[in-house]
Structure 1
C-alpha cells in the first residue's frame, strides 16, 4: 500500500501522472554499490509505474540485482511541481511489448516516426519494469513562484 504525502491528494497525484509526459527519473544501485540515475518513459495505472527497456540494458541488470529504487517525476518549467518517492521493482518479459507500444504512443504521439519504428522492431527484446511505490511525496511550487514566468527561468 502506497503512502501519499505532500501537497496533493492521491487523486491529484494520479491526474498529474496521467497528464505529464516527462520521463521518470529512476535511481538505483549498481553492483558496486554506487548510485545510478536513468530516465525512462512511464505510464501510471492502478497505482504502479510501468516502463520498458531492452532486456540487456544496464539498468535492467542493476534492478535485477537490487530492486529498491527512488524516483522523481517533475516538471521542467516554472512553476515547478511533481512527485518523488521510493519503491520496489519487478522485471518481466510479460506485457513488455504492449507496455512499449503504449509508451511510444504516449511520448511520440504515434508510431509513424523512424524512432518509433526502431523501438518497436520485432528484433528488439524488451522487458517491462514495474515500480510499486512505497511512498509518493508530492510538491508544487506554484504559489512561491507565482511572479516568475517560464521565460524568466
Structure 2
C-alpha cells in the first residue's frame, strides 16, 4: 500500500502521472553500494510506474542486485511541481515490446522515427521495470510562484 503525502491527493498524483510526459529519475544502488541515477520514460498503470530498457543495461543488473529505489518526476519549468518517493521494482521480460511500444507512442507520438525503429528492432531484448511506490511525496509551488497549477508546464 502506498503512503501519499504532500500537496496532492492520490487522485491528483494519478492525474499528474498520466498527463505529464516527464521522464522518471530512478536512483538505485550499484553492487559496490554507491548510488546510480538513471532517467527513463514511464507509464502509470494500476498504481505503479512501468518503464522499459535494454536487457543489457547496467541499471537492470543493479536492480537485480537490489530492487529498492528512490524516484523523482518533476517539472523543469516554473511552476515547479511533481512527486518523489521510494519503492521497489520487479523486472520481467518485455519480449513483445508492449511496454516499450506504448512508451514510444507516449513520448515520441508514434513509431515512425529512426529512434523508434532502433528501439523496436527485433534483435533488441527489452526488460520491463515495474516500480511499486511505497511512499509518494508531492509538491506544487504554483501558488507560491504566482502560477495556476492547471497551466501544464513540462
* Structure 1: runs of 5+ lacking an equivalent: 148-153
SS at match of 1:128: strand
Q: Contact (CA 8 Å) 1:27, 1:70: kept in 2 or not? A: yes
Give deviations 1:54-111, integer Å, cap 9, x for gaps.
Answer: 0010000000000000000001100100000000011010566100000000000000
Question: Number of paired residues?
Answer: 147
Name 1:50's counterpart in structure 2. 50
* Structure 2: runs of 5+ lacking an equivalent: 148-154
Q: Contact (CA 8 Å) 2:95, 2:125: kept in 1 or not? A: no
Q: Contact (CA 8 Å) 1:96, 1:128: kept in 2 or not? A: no
Q: Give the 3 Å change call, closer, same or farther, for CA 39–96 of structure 1 in structure 2.
A: farther
Name 1:107's counterpart in structure 2. 107
1:69 aligns with 2:69: yes
* Match runs of 1:9-48 below 5 Å: 9-48=9-48
Give deviations 1:105-151, integer Å, cap 9, x for gaps.
Answer: 0000000000001011111000000000001110001111117xxxx
Q: Contact (CA 8 Å) 2:94, 2:100: kept in 1 or not? A: no
* Per-residue deviation, 1:34: 0.3
CA distance in 1, matches of 2:23, 2:32: 26
Q: Contact (CA 8 Å) 2:88, 2:134: kept in 1 or not? A: yes
Name 1:87's counterpart in structure 2. 87
SS at match of 1:84: strand
SS at match of 2:101: helix
**TM-score, structure 2 as length reference:** 0.93
Runs of 4+ in 1 over 6 A off after TM superposition: none
Name 2:2's counterpart in structure 1. 2
CA distance in 2, matches of 1:66, 1:18: 27
1:141 aligns with 2:141: yes
SS at match of 1:8: coil
CA distance in 1, matches of 2:96, 2:10: 27
